[in-house]
Chain A
């Protein structure tokens, strides 16, 4: 019997091709991912007072991107720029550019209402309408005249928000009767009902107990398969748990001592921010030595 040998790059005979790479949606490498938001030199002022200065970064598709930083660092101001919520604040001025899929979000021909349909938002305090659970979900679709197969849409959306099993037998009950955690998932479902592209979450779990918080975090992990998520959080461990990318904002005092504004210090993969941040200020903040 003749033995033949074939050339192999792995002399031990271990077939590396059988070791599968993670699916692309689990890949945390931001390079090559579609850019959803391209922010360039963004500054925001309220009544002439600078709140946030010169922020540039990119938000990638199907990533969870977290904004962290101390109070007053401008992270909530910043997230509100992504769906033009600052338009609703008198005296707010947004400078710089926010491109959404390459299109200027603040262009003169852009309808802010359409922006907010595509880019949904969930707030710190659950704010369901004082209506039935069903009507909370159906509200947006009705406004947008997406009423075809509305029951199916409501069920699908509640399932998506991991709430269906808990509310399916009481859809006609008032949403204000739900627990805080359920109300917040209802608000997420309400945002999902109009088929957005992006979900912005401003401290979505800060008013919730640990169990409700973990449900929201599980939900965020699920939702990023289909949506791009941006989250502001005070809870650094939450950012570490849920986010692929993390931006750290800090507060800078004006040189003339007249006030202070927020600034972006560092933006990188979450694992980098929490194991080996590049900037001393990030290091001090995430290790709890800030101040």
Chain B
């Protein structure tokens, strides 16, 4: 094996991505736990934690800039570098969704809540966490079939997201409940986006392995 330093840089880039993934998963889990327990303190922690996620993204971006400048990667190395960069951006956005969920939870803390809907959102969030976890595992294992399975999981989240609006409309008897419901529609939308970002990481896995980029599902989805 030649270019040992170069290979070490690529390996380290990939482990940085997986570590960023672990950190982002903690943020999503934290945001969902805060929603379930109405823990405003935990919401603040999730919001503050976003700086850590952003820093990890910027570190990966800097490393990639240096690799491109110094090593001029090509072929599967180039695909790895591009796939890591895109996946890192998707993870950073998942972090942002967690922050939004935490902020909405804080804003809704004093409002009357609909327990059944909160449970539904938490279940939806658990699916989102599972999707992110699987997307990272598929990337690490170069598992294209596993990456493609994310589309099926995403469909479940999308379906729940669509049902949330109907539920909110049906339950909104008081202005206070309406306000809470509106905020929860946005929470559902954030979780739905987390699922989409996990699918995006899956698409990067397929690109990394095959050299071909395909959207797993079209825009009408």
Whether A and B are associated in the same complex: the answer reads yes
Could you tell me if A276 and B2 are in contact, using CB atoms closer than 8 angstroms?
A: no
A197: Cβ under 8 A from any B Cβ: no
13 additional A-B pairs beyond A273-B75, A276-B212, A287-B3, beta carbons within 8 Å, are A237-B72, A240-B74, A275-B75, A275-B78, A275-B79, A276-B75, A282-B75, A283-B75, A287-B77, A288-B3, A289-B2, A290-B2, A291-B2
Contacts between the two chains (Cβ within 8 Å), count:
38
Could you tell me if B75 and A274 are in contact, using CB atoms closer than 8 angstroms?
A: yes
B69: Cβ under 8 A from any A Cβ: no
Measured between beta carbons, the chain A residues less than 8 angstroms from B210 are: 276
In the complex, how many angstroms separate the beta carbon of B29 from the nearest chain A beta carbon? 36
A178: Cβ under 8 A from any B Cβ: no
Measured between beta carbons, the chain B residues less than 8 angstroms from A291 are: 2
CA A211 to CA B197, docked complex, whole Å: 44
CA A240 to CA B74, docked complex, whole Å: 10
CA A277 to CA B74, docked complex, whole Å: 10
Measured between beta carbons, the chain B residues less than 8 angstroms from A290 are: 2
Measured between beta carbons, the chain A residues less than 8 angstroms from B2 are: 288-291
B1: Cβ under 8 A from any A Cβ: yes
CA A276 to CA B212, docked complex, whole Å: 9
Q: Chain A residues in contact with chain B, CB under 8 A?
A: 236-237, 240, 273-277, 282-283, 286-291
Q: Please, which residue of chain A has its CB at the minimum distance from the CB of B82?
A: A275
CA A288 to CA B4, docked complex, whole Å: 10
Contact with A along B196-212 (1 / 0, CB 8 A): 00000000000000111
**Contact-residue size bin, chain B (C-beta under 8 Å from the other chain):** 10 to 19
B76: Cβ under 8 A from any A Cβ: yes
Measured between beta carbons, the chain A residues less than 8 angstroms from B6 are: 288
CA A152 to CA B77, docked complex, whole Å: 50
CA A6 to CA B210, docked complex, whole Å: 42
B73: Cβ under 8 A from any A Cβ: yes
In the complex, how many angstroms separate the beta carbon of B171 from the nearest chain A beta carbon? 36
List CB contacts (< 8 Å) of B59-105 with chain A.
72-79
CA A291 to CA B1, docked complex, whole Å: 7
In the complex, how many angstroms separate the beta carbon of A264 from the nearest chain B beta carbon? 18
Q: Please, which residue of chain B has its CB at the minimum distance from the CB of A282?
A: B75
A276/B72 contact (C-beta < 8 A), A288-B2, A290-B2, A291-B2 known? no
Measured between beta carbons, the chain A residues less than 8 angstroms from B76 are: 276, 283, 287
Could you tell me if A274 and B1 are in contact, using CB atoms closer than 8 angstroms?
A: no
A287/B73 contact (C-beta < 8 A), A274-B78, A276-B79 known? yes
In the complex, how many angstroms separate the beta carbon of B82 from the nearest chain A beta carbon? 9
A–B pairs, 17, beta carbons within 8 Å: A236-B74, A237-B72, A274-B74, A274-B75, A274-B78, A275-B79, A276-B75, A276-B79, A276-B211, A277-B75, A287-B73, A287-B74, A287-B75, A288-B3, A288-B6, A290-B2, A291-B2
Measured between beta carbons, the chain A residues less than 8 angstroms from B1 are: 289
Measured between beta carbons, the chain B residues less than 8 angstroms from A240 are: 74
Measured between beta carbons, the chain B residues less than 8 angstroms from A277 are: 75
CA A185 to CA B21, docked complex, whole Å: 53
Could you tell me if B74 and A289 are in contact, using CB atoms closer than 8 angstroms?
A: no
